[in-house]
Amino acid sequence: MRGKKIIITIDGWSSCGKSTLAKQLAKELGYVYVDSGAMYRAITLYFIRNNVGLDSHREIREALKSINLEFVFNPVSQRSEMFLNGENVEYVIRDLLIAEKVSDVAAIKEVRAFAVAQQQKMGVKKGIVMDGRDIGTVVFPKAELKIFMTADNAVRVERRFKELFAKNPNVTIEEVKNNLEMRDYIDSHREVSPLRKAEDALELDNTQLTEEQQFKKALDWALARKAVKKPE
């Protein structure tokens, strides 16, 4: 693909389809895709398994020293999967049990510093699409293209419910709705790097868009930014 390599950030509310769009863009542009939420989910899994007290800064600092996070490409699924201390946790971190705790863990200052430092290293060579909540505001404030995704609540609940129900038929729509509302609230009200739209982000509301329409729109933005250097 011609043009310079850029950094693309995709932030927004839970279950807006950020990762779907990020993967499509990365594939089309030959870029690396990084799911920053997977890192917070893996840290949460470690904290749960090791009974780390979320009120204890000492316990949190100690636990973080024992956590090694890695994205490893799986040729079978054709995507990078999250490894926690050498174990593939890609599937277990999608569980509702993790979703119920992850926003509290992601609000912890030490946890964010730990994850953000690693995310910034991944972007040094550019050619990256990263999705999350603070990627355009904190992780890569100088990114060439920042997208902020939104969609109506009901649409988001429905999408996430279908995804989770396929894996666990016991899950209810109320559980999914409550979890999304709780995460949106905590993610956008926390003290450190709350979810917010960067001033220079382009908003993409996909309530009425098909995946294809949304991809085309975002790809046009990306190609335009690749061709034109952003003023310093």
Which residues are bridge partners to 147 per DSSP? 10, 202
Q: Is 106 in the site for ligand DC (CB under 6 A)?
A: yes
State the nearest-atom distance from the C-beta of 134 to ligand DC, in Å: 5
Whichever of 59 and 181 has its CB closer to ligand DC, that residue is 181
Cβ contacts of residue 178 below 8 Å, gap of 6+?
Answer: none
Q: Are 129 and 20 in contact (CB under 8 A)?
A: no
What six digits make up the tokens of 192? 């450190």
Out of 24, 103, 137, 214, which residue is the one contacting ligand DC (CB under 6 A)?
Answer: 103
Q: Which is nearer to ligand DC, 42 or 226 (CB)?
A: 42
Contact residue for ligand DC among 81, 90, 144, 187 (CB under 6 A)? 187
Q: Report which DSSP code applies to 230.
A: P
Residues 21-80 within binding reach of ligand DC (CB under 6 A): 36-37, 40-41
Residue whose CB is less far from ligand DC, 43 or 226? 43
Query: End-to-end distance of the chain based on CA atoms, in angstroms?
Result: 24
Query: Do residues 173 and 179 touch, judged by C-beta distance below 8 A?
Result: no
Q: Look at the alpha carbons of 188, 177, 115, 71 in this order and tell me if their dihedral is positive or negative.
A: negative
Nearest CB to ligand DC, comparing residues 84 and 106:
106
Q: CB of residue 40 vs ligand DC: minimum separation in angstroms?
A: 4
What residue ranges bind ligand DC (CB under 6 A)? 14, 36-37, 40-41, 102-103, 106, 132-135, 183, 187
